[in-house]
Amino acid sequence: MQKKEPKPEKQPKSIEERIDRIYAMAEAHYGDVRFVGIKKHRKIGWVAKIQFDEFESLVAEGENPEQALKKLRKRLKKIIDRYHMV
């Protein structure tokens, strides 16, 4: 009987890896993306944003940068899934 090796622990993704992943998703779907970024807002907390052109953007807020980026990715994924359903 063979012993199963324990699964290696997953390393948490860095902020840069999360931003790169969101950027790639947005670029694949929308084509042109100006930037994907995150910043600390004094009253709101952390704000993650995708800027497509001068006027169009997606924004998500969170208590920490990881949470804001997760919400932004989830929002983007939801939009892409809706687009593919039609």
Q: Specify if 6 maps to a domain.
A: no
What CATH number is attached to the domain comprising 40? 3.30.160
Q: What is each CA distance from 42 to 32, 53, 79, 84, in whole angstroms?
A: 30, 25, 28, 37
36 within 8 A of 50, measured Cβ to Cβ:
yes
Q: Specify if 49 maps to a domain.
A: yes
DSSP SS3 for 14 = coil
Q: Specify if 9 maps to a domain.
A: no
User: How many domains, the chain?
Assistant: 1
Task: Going from the first residue of the chain to its last (86 residues), give the mean pLDDT of each consecutive group of 10, the final group possibly shorter.
Answer: 72 89 92 91 93 88 94 94 83
Residue range of the domain that includes 34? 15-85
d(CA 63, CA 17): 19
Which pLDDT score, from 0 to 100, does residue 23 have? 93
17, amino acid identity: E
Q: Specify if 8 maps to a domain.
A: no
Which pLDDT score, from 0 to 100, does residue 45 have? 94
